[in-house]
Amino acid sequence: MKTETFGSTDKSIPAHDRRRGVARRQLRLWPNRHGRDRWARRSMALLVALVTLLVPLIALALYERARPILADQSLRELLTSSVWHPLQGAFGFLPFIMGTLWVTAVAMLIAVPPSLLTAVYLTEYASTRVRNLVMPFIDLLAGIPSVVYGVWGMLTVVPFVGTVAAPFLTRYLGFIPFMQSDNPTGYGVLAGGIVLAVMTFPVIIAVTGEVLCAVPQGLREASWSLGATRWQTTHLVVLRRALPGVVAAIVLGFSRAFGETMAVLMVVGNVAQVPHSIFDAAYPLTALIANNYGEMMSIPLYDAALLCAALVLMLVVLLFNVISRLVLSRIARQG
């Protein structure tokens, strides 16, 4: 109805708005298409802001719930004491932190060399056909649930460690301090490390692959034209250029292993002690939380202590993630 919009005589509306028909628009309950766009923009921006704030909110919530124990004992005391007697109010996280560190360290020692070599093979050596054939399987490895990894660990890795690796390594490498075994079961740091290593393969391979792809092709060609072999080009040019990104990939793999719960819990033995050998049973932080949270709520501070453990876990993972993501996004921008 053209005449209505143009012929509006309502003097309360400014003249230029009367001409553009704004008055009629403003009276409608359901906004027109430009109004809908504005509303959508605002509400989506709100959602994005909410998600951006989610990380600090989670940390804050955990801190809030962990405060009772942090008020009672200093953080330093909690992290360095190895006495874990919840009934007596002694919450020393040291055995659990050491358990996590041992398992993660072993996992990284096992995982890093093959993952890096595989990533280099897939990006620098393999043909596109081979790469397209292999990558889906690596994605598949990433998609397997952690419980299934745990079952595999119990069925294959634990017996292997118990009957093959432990006797063999103790016999031939027993002079190395970390290699003696007095634990015949196989449940322990090494089994957890192997399972975690397989779980971190896909993370490190995928991220390293992306980083290597971002290295300009011209660098490789320049190196080849000087007569360098592929491997020389790879380790003198490509890997050197991609080093920060490769480190970031390893750190991402580390933080994935650090926070993994179910698979580790099932194979690591869960004995609250500071491990002294790769065959000792350990009790990582994640396993501590999974096994005990929600029970024995009547013990004072117990709940707060476990949330404090979750907070420590989260902060470590957060720190590593932020650093490596910043490095990776800088690489992506340059590439």
Q: In angstroms, give the least distance from the CB of 148 to another protein.
A: 5
Question: Cα dihedral angle (58, 60, 66, 72), rounded to 10 degrees?
Answer: 170
Single-letter amino acid, residue 238: V
Which burial class, exposed, middle or buried, applies to 141 when counting CB atoms under 10 A from its CB (0-12, 13-18, 19+)? Answer: middle
Binding mask 261-300 for another protein (x = CB under 8 A): xx---x-------------------x--xx--xx------
Angstrom distance (rounded) from CA 246 to CA 233: 16
Please, are residues 278 and 187 in contact by the beta-carbon 8 Å criterion? Answer: no
Q: In angstroms, give the least distance from the CB of 243 to another protein.
A: 17
Distances (CA, A) of 260 to 49, 76, 277, 285, 293: 28, 24, 21, 10, 16
With CB under 8 A as the rule, give the number of residues binding another protein.
84
Task: Please say which residue, 34 or 76, places its beta carbon nearer to another protein.
Answer: 34
Q: In angstroms, give the least distance from the CB of 89 to another protein.
A: 21
* 101 in contact with another protein (CB under 8 A): no
Task: Please say which residue, 13 or 318, places its beta carbon nearer to another protein.
Answer: 318
Among 92, 97, 104, 118, binds another protein (CB under 8 A): 118
* 321 in contact with another protein (CB under 8 A): yes
Nearest to 135 by CA among 196, 195, 197, 202: 202
* 146 in contact with another protein (CB under 8 A): yes
Q: In angstroms, give the least distance from the CB of 277 to another protein.
A: 24
Binding mask 204-243 for another protein (x = CB under 8 A): -x-----------------------xxxx-x---------
Rg of the chain (C-alpha set): 28
